[in-house]
Chains A and B, each alone.
Chain A
Amino acid sequence: MKTLASYSIKGGVGKTACSVNLAYAAAEAGNRTLLVDLDPQGASSFYFRIRPSQNVKPKGFFTKQSKIENAIRGSDYPRLDVLPANLHFRKFDQLLGSLHKARNRLRDALARSADQYDIVVLDCPPTIGLLSENVFMAADMIVVPVIPTTLSERTFEQLLTFFRKSGYPAQRIVAFFSMVQSNNRLHQETMRRMQSQYKRFLNTVIPQSTDIERMGTHREPVLCYAPSRPGSLAYRHLCEELLRKL
């Protein structure tokens, strides 16, 4: 089982769209896939029309396998299951602070389902706290969407600094440019600069696209309702590139 986390300190960069489409494409490629929605807003669960998991509270999430097992829902697509979020998940950091071995709890919880899945995709909330540190410990790859703007660049640098200072393996971080506008000069300049500065950027670029924005209306991955549109093709390439690297 390999774990991919879609993570960024910054909100609104396309983490959930990445998680949802990545999980869908991984399952479509033949992998038994679990999408874990860690964000209390539950956006990725919403995209799959799955209701919040009311019975899963933070303590049960990390300590009782049966709680997770019972909360997992089959999606409408082959080989793809979803562990939906709920509002209780906002208390993850608070609870983790009270547990022993607080940074390994997520890794241990996921390991219990290792025989059921080939790929686990974590959709993470835009925070940097104990839950995020659990994600850094659990994930084989931390996939960071970066909008090529100054603020996104700054938060990406903050993340790298945090990894260096805290001793987390920075080689697990891979980044890709998200919501890119091809006719935006600032975007193009930022991409060129960041690509020359950091070797960890993937070749795939996800364009700014109304097709992707419509996921909320369709409540399904863009790969389902617009499979041959540029946004979908980009997500498919992203998945292929990531699976090759895993």
Chain B
Amino acid sequence: MNTLTSLQERYWLIDSDNTASRLFAMLRDQHATVMHPTSSRTLTFYDSFSWQLWFSDCVLYRDSDNLILRQLNEQQWQAVLEQVPLPAGPTPTFWWQLPESMAVLLQPHLKQRALLAQVKILRRDTRTDIKNTDNKTVARVIASEFRRANNNGKLFHSCISAKPIRGYDDAFRTVVKALDQLPLAPCPASPLHAYFESFAAWPKAFSAKPALTLYGAQAVRDVLFETVHASLQTARLCEDGIIKDIDIEFLHDYRVSIRAIRAVISLLAKWFPTDFIATLKDSFKEWGQRTNRLRDLDVYLLEENALTAVLPPRLTGAIAPLFEDMGKQRHAEFNKCRRYLQSQTYQHKMDHVASLVERIRSQNTPSSLSPASDVALKILHKQYRKVTKLGRSIHAKTTDHRIHALRIQGKKLRYVLEFFSSLLDPEKTETLLAAMRQLQNTLGEFNDLSVQQNALYTFYTTKTRHDALLGLAVGALIGDLYQRQNHCRGKIVKLFDRFDTPATRKNFIGLLRGDAR
């Protein structure tokens, strides 16, 4: 690769009539060339579990000692966005472990997600350099074969490419013209696309909240079954990542799925027999509870830099024991969680729950057969009233407990809108969700700040040996969190007023009047 040229690399497919050796022979007749020995290497493509780079039209791969980030557009390799050298050995797992120039480009896509070696391709290149009369290379032509790293190294893609050298545009154009005159098909895809094409399998988008398409006439029991079934599958997909501790998002997504299941069960409870719902609810409750502490610790450790930044320089070192302690607790909590997920108890419980979920479909009470659209509107109505009633009673001196209650009811309202979104007017639903988002984020922040203060208080007061500087640092942090929480309280009142507008009401009334499809 040369650093800059105005011309783009060109690719053509090689076929049995136009083999690489025939093409090279043709070039030899027209130019002075130097052919290099064939070289083989493995290209390892990295992406997160949820393929965030791929779905952002980027591809990250390791080619020998370089890590390369490329833009993809309509299945074609595009410009190299960044390339950094990597020392031999394992590739770093997180964006923050990479050189800064690469890290800043990956951060917005990956956030807390780990990089996984998703695809390995064996690449075999035969290169011919086109020389001028000074024996200087003025263009390059490379024949490449791509094979699967597994599956007996099956060949899935062969192409020839012409690469320009900066400042030698005429020579490149001459080579391209010669290759264009041959009956060669332009390369339709990047090697990675060709790889997926060869399997007829493409990366699938992953979301902790599966988007289901429901129908208005569908029985509510089917809605419950589909939602619980899909979310349970999603939770199961996360188990391996939690057990291997690949990144903290696996646990987060697992919990989001379980929470979504619990929310939908609770919202639809009155349409089903009480004892059946109680059994179903209890099963999922335990999984949420067992992972609470680990998730809390993940969040605290994630906040380490932000929390430390609040402290004056003379106290930043003093707070280290807090995070060391949390690190140790996290280690112990993770081991507990891992052992549980690998246990027979968990597997048996999962089997039992799966059979319970199957039983949803055999619920034949008249209410369980109610049409989904009726149920959606009733729940929406009830939940909207709860939120507005609670929200209108909030003021600058409202207790934490009531604000917490508003957060829970608001969250349920958001779940209802999300669950039934396919039955509702998409534009109105999105407007309502957008109106709720900022309020919900601030309510979430309020709750986090409260939980963090309690955690810091418990950490220090349960210590057997007290260190003065650590005490000062913890005190300073609690003070800062308290101030921020008070600021949030005032903000919540304003945000609720902004949410509870005639326009929002009109939108809800539009949905409640039966704009469900």
Q: A51 — which chain B residues lie within 8 A by C-beta?
A: 134
Say whether A78 contacts B134, CB under 8 Å.
no
Which listed residue (A29, A70, A71, A79) contacts B3, Cβ 8 A? A79
> CB-nearest residue of chain B relative to A75?
B2
CB distance from A2 to the nearest CB of B (A): 14
> Which of B70-78, B163-171, B494-502 forms part of the interface with chain A?
B163-171
CB distance from B233 to the nearest CB of A (A): 43
Say whether A79 contacts B166, CB under 8 Å.
no
> CB-nearest residue of chain A relative to B139?
A74
Q: B88 — which chain A residues lie within 8 A by C-beta?
A: none
Task: List residues 43-91 of chain A with CB under 8 A from any CB of chain B.
Answer: 48-51, 70-76, 78-81
Say whether A73 contacts B168, CB under 8 Å.
yes
Which listed residue (B5, B65, B66, B84) contacts A74, Cβ 8 A? B5
Which listed residue (A50, A76, A81) contacts B129, Cβ 8 A? A76
> CB-nearest residue of chain A relative to B1?
A78
Say whether B85 contacts A81, CB under 8 Å.
no
> CB-nearest residue of chain A relative to B138?
A74
Q: Is A116 an interface residue (CB 8 A)?
A: yes
Q: Is A163 an interface residue (CB 8 A)?
A: no
CB distance from A44 to the nearest CB of B (A): 14
Q: A81 — which chain B residues lie within 8 A by C-beta?
A: 2-4, 166
Say whether B66 contacts A73, CB under 8 Å.
no
Complex Cα spacing A78 to B66, Å: 12
Q: A79 — which chain B residues lie within 8 A by C-beta?
A: 1-3
Q: B137 — which chain A residues lie within 8 A by C-beta?
A: 76
> CB-nearest residue of chain B relative to A81?
B3
Say whether B4 contacts A116, CB under 8 Å.
yes
Which listed residue (A29, A30, A32, A74) contacts B167, Cβ 8 A? A74
Q: How large is the interface on B (under 10, 10 to 19, 20 to 34, 35 or more residues)?
A: 10 to 19
Q: B382 — which chain A residues lie within 8 A by C-beta?
A: none
Interface string of B134-170 (1 = CB under 8 A from A): 1111000000000000000000000000000111100
Say whether A116 contacts B3, CB under 8 Å.
yes
Q: Is A225 an interface residue (CB 8 A)?
A: no
Say whether A29 contacts B85, CB under 8 Å.
yes
Do most interface residues of chain B lie in helix, strand or loop, or is the interface mixed? loop
Q: Contacts A30-B66, A74-B165 known; A49 to B3 CB distance under 8 Å? A: no
Say whether A74 contacts B134, CB under 8 Å.
no
Q: B1 — which chain A residues lie within 8 A by C-beta?
A: 78-79
B2, B129, B168: most-surrounded residue (chain A CB, <10 A):
B2
CB distance from A210 to the nearest CB of B (A): 22
Say whether A49 contacts B168, CB under 8 Å.
no
> CB-nearest residue of chain B relative to A83?
B167
CB distance from B174 to the nearest CB of A (A): 16
Say whether A32 contacts B3, CB under 8 Å.
yes
Q: How large is the interface on A (under 10, 10 to 19, 20 to 34, 35 or more residues)?
A: 20 to 34
CB distance from A81 to the nearest CB of B (A): 5
Q: Contacts A72-B167, A73-B167 known; A49 to B134 CB distance under 8 Å? A: yes
Say whether B136 contacts A50, CB under 8 Å.
yes
Complex Cα spacing A158 to B85, Å: 40
Q: Contacts A49-B134, A49-B136, A50-B136 known; A78 to B4 CB distance under 8 Å? A: no
CB distance from B55 to the nearest CB of A (A): 28
Complex Cα spacing A68 to B65, Å: 31
Say whether B85 contacts A74, CB under 8 Å.
no
Complex Cα spacing A219 to B136, Å: 10
Q: A219 — which chain B residues lie within 8 A by C-beta?
A: 135
> CB-nearest residue of chain B relative to A73?
B167
Q: B129 — which chain A residues lie within 8 A by C-beta?
A: 76
CB distance from B63 to the nearest CB of A (A): 11
Q: B66 — which chain A residues lie within 8 A by C-beta?
A: 30
Complex Cα spacing A48 to B134, Å: 10
Q: B2 — which chain A residues lie within 8 A by C-beta?
A: 74-75, 78-81
Q: B65 — which chain A residues lie within 8 A by C-beta?
A: 30
CB distance from A168 to the nearest CB of B (A): 30
CB distance from A70 to the nearest CB of B (A): 8
> CB-nearest residue of chain B relative to A53?
B167
> CB-nearest residue of chain A relative to B164?
A74
Say whether A72 contacts B136, CB under 8 Å.
no
Q: Contacts A30-B84, A49-B135, A50-B136 known; A117 to B3 CB distance under 8 Å? A: yes
Complex Cα spacing A1 to B1, Å: 19
Interface string of B48-69 (1 = CB under 8 A from A): 0000000000000000011000
Complex Cα spacing A117 to B3, Å: 8
Q: A76 — which chain B residues lie within 8 A by C-beta?
A: 129, 136-137
Complex Cα spacing A70 to B65, Å: 30
Q: B84 — which chain A residues lie within 8 A by C-beta?
A: 30
Complex Cα spacing A74 to B167, Å: 6
Q: A48 — which chain B residues lie within 8 A by C-beta?
A: 136
> CB-nearest residue of chain A relative to B132?
A49
Interface string of A216-227 (1 = CB under 8 A from B): 000100000000
CB distance from A204 to the nearest CB of B (A): 21
Q: B4 — which chain A residues lie within 8 A by C-beta?
A: 72, 81, 116
CB distance from B162 to the nearest CB of A (A): 14
> CB-nearest residue of chain A relative to B66?
A30
Say whether A73 contacts B3, CB under 8 Å.
no
Complex Cα spacing A73 to B170, Å: 13
Interface string of A105-134 (1 = CB under 8 A from B): 000000000001100000000000000000
10 pairs from A and B in contact (CB 8 Å cutoff) = A30-B84, A34-B3, A48-B136, A50-B136, A71-B167, A72-B4, A74-B165, A75-B2, A78-B1, A117-B3
Chain A positions near chain B (C-beta within 8 angstroms): 29-30, 32, 34, 48-51, 70-76, 78-81, 116-117, 219
With A29-B85, A50-B134, A219-B135 known, 6 other A-B pairs at CB within 8 A are: A30-B66, A34-B3, A70-B167, A74-B3, A78-B2, A81-B3
